[in-house]
């Protein structure tokens, strides 16, 4: 059984309808729930996403002419660059991949080529589409899995004509009892026979990076050339259910239509976040680690401006994929990028360093605030943690001061401070079960202040 054609065709239109409700104001409001400040960056990405929806409302001829407004985020580490892009992708349910520019080298040097970015993005998109369609046919799959498990538990008569009506009815009653026991969870440890398909692994052709990271086309060629083997195994029913569900899902999904939908989604709604793009800046050098910087930029250029990338699933055009570049640019500046590449990131936005007031807000306002996380974690041990406002203020001050005196790592400093502050409580949590622990200003100073004052020690611990 294959997924219906119209189900596959609904993929892009469903995404368009989701984005239609996400006006720039709503996008910023959603981002505000998790990221403090950086309003300029939020507004820029919100407009970029809205423009993508606007493009899809145009006629097809004009759609081809309207390109994405790629963004270059400039700011120190830990101020929210990656988080903005990740939350944005989650919001619009778009294929999203984060890569580091330093992973890639120009053709001819050891390292990954930039085409791998698009291949990885497509693989992620395929998994997303498969997951969505698997959810749509979940009930059908579960029914088929149940029938196959019953067949394994009661072999012999399935598919054969019963000798008479009485034997057929007796067989159906037995199946009904097994079905009830199966749904009640009473047969989970019973051994059943399952046919498992094992793919042959080529020996003697391994590259230094491993078979899973070989060239996509090379890997696909071996998968087709080497036949798979089937083996009958006797395993517990709860393990067999997972294997049969995977087999049944593979049989019911139309792989070709899923792939086509994933390619369309990648081309129209894909989002690539290129971090550390400032590390491939700078003048061209003929020696040392800088030898391929200009080459990486030259290889990135066609991907960003729009080209066709060949993958084992088909050709993907990058003309309308949204690229967000990010970097601290502490030792370089955006103008050090190749002029052609600069022109492909027309929107520049600078993210500001975090102040003490920002740290106070980060500790308590976002939906995933660290104080909320720690309260929830320790509540599982029956420990009630109460963070007083002055304690939060003291933690924020220490984080800000350490960032100024040592390496500035932005909001990530709060993770280290929080773990150090609650180290004793977390370790001895079972002893504090049923108790309330108040974290006040005195508690914070007694655990962190002396450490923060010792600049040499704080560099290693905080």
CATH C-level class of 356-453: mainly alpha
- In this predicted structure, the answer to whether residue 54 has a pLDDT above a threshold of 70 is yes
* β pairing state of 322-327 and 271-275: parallel
Q: What is the pLDDT of residues 160-196, one digit of tens each?
A: 444 567 777 787 788 877 887 778 877 777 777 777 7
Q: What is the mean pLDDT of residues 286-295?
A: 57
Average pLDDT of the segment spanning 148-165: 65
Contact 120, 235 (CB under 8 A): no
Instruction: Give the number of residues written for the chain.
Output: 462
- Where are the CATH 3.40.50.300 domain residues in the chain? 5-130+258-350
pLDDT in tens, 197-229: 766 555 444 444 434 445 555 555 656 666 667
- 75 neighbors 350 (Cβ within 8 angstroms): yes
pLDDT at site 213: 44
In the chain, ranges of CATH 1.10.8.60 domains: 356-453
Which letter, b or e, does each residue of 210-248 get, where b requires 16 or more Cβ atoms within 10 Å of its Cβ?
eeeebebeeeeeeeeeeeeeeeeeeeebeebbebbbebb
Could you tell me the pTM of the whole model?
A: 0.77
Cα Rg of the chain (Å, integer): 28
CB atoms within 10 A of CB 394: 24
Quick one: which of 418, 462, 408, 368 has its CA closest to 79?
A: 408
pLDDT at 316: 93
Q: Assign 125 a pLDDT band (cuts: 50, 70, 90).
A: very high
Compute the mean pLDDT over every residue in the chain, rounded to the nearest whole number.
80
Domain spanning 5-130+258-350, CATH architecture: 3-Layer(aba) Sandwich (3.40)
- Token pair belonging to 110: 């050891």
- The span from the CA of 178 to the CA of 190, in Å, is 12
What is the per-residue pLDDT across 402-444, written as a single tens digit (0 to 9) for each? Answer: 888 877 888 888 888 888 888 888 898 888 888 888 988 888 8
Q: Residue 337, Cβ neighbours under 10 Å: how many?
A: 26
Confidence band (pLDDT; 50, 70, 90) for 271? very high
């Amino acid at each position: 059984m294959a997924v219906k054609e119209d189900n596959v065709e609904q993929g892009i239109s469903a995404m368009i309808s989701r984005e239609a409700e996400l006006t720039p104001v709503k996008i910023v409001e959603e981002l505000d729930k998790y990221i403090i400040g950086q309003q300029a960056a939020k507004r820029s990405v919100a407009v970029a996403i809205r423009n993508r929806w606007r493009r899809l409302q145009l006629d097809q001829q004009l759609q081809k002419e309207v390109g994405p407004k790629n963004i270059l985020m400039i700011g120190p580490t830990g101020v929210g660059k990656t988080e903005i892009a990740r939350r944005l992708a989650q919001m619009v349910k778009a294929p999203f991949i984060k890569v580091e520019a330093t992973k890639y080298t120009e053709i001819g040097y050891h390292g990954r080529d930039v085409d791998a970015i698009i291949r990885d993005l497509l693989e992620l998109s395929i998994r997303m589409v498969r997951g969505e369609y698997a959810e749509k046919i979940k009930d059908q799959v579960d029914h088929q899995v149940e029938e196959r498990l019953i067949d394994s538990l009661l072999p012999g008569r399935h598919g054969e004509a019963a000798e008479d009506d009485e034997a057929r009815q007796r067989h159906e009653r037995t199946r009904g009892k097994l079905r009830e026991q199966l749904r009640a969870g009473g047969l989970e440890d019973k051994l059943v026979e399952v046919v498992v398909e094992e793919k042959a692994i080529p020996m003697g052709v391994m590259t230094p990076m491993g078979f899973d990271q070989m060239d996509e086309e090379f890997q696909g060629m071996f998968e087709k050339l080497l036949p798979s083997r089937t083996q009958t195994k006797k395993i517990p029913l709860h393990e067999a259910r997972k294997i049969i569900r995977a087999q049944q899902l593979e049989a019911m999904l139309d792989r070709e239509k899923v792939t086509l939908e994933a390619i369309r989604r990648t081309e129209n709604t894909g989002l690539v976040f290129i971090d550390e793009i400032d590390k491939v800046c700078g003048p061209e050098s003929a020696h040392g680690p800088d030898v391929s910087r200009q080459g990486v930029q030259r290889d990135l250029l066609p991907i960003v401006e729009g080209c066709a990338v060949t993958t084992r699933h088909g050709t993907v055009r990058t003309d309308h994929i949204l690229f967000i570049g990010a970097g601290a640019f502490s030792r370089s500046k955006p103008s050090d990028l190749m002029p052609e590449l600069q022109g492909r990131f027309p929107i520049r936005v600078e993210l500001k360093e975090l102040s003490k007031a920002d740290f106070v807000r980060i500790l308590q306002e976002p939906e995933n605030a660290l104080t909320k996380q720690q309260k929830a974690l320790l509540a599982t041990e029956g420990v009630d943690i109460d963070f007083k406002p002055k304690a939060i203020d003291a933690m924020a001050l220490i984080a800000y001061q350490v960032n100024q005196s040592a390496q500035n790592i932005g909001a990530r400093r709060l993770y280290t401070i929080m773990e150090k502050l609650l180290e004793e409580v977390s370790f001895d949590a079972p002893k504090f079960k049923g108790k309330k622990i108040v974290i006040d200003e005195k508690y914070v100073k007694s655990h962190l202040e002396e450490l923060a004052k010792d600049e040499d020690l704080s560099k290693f611990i905080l």
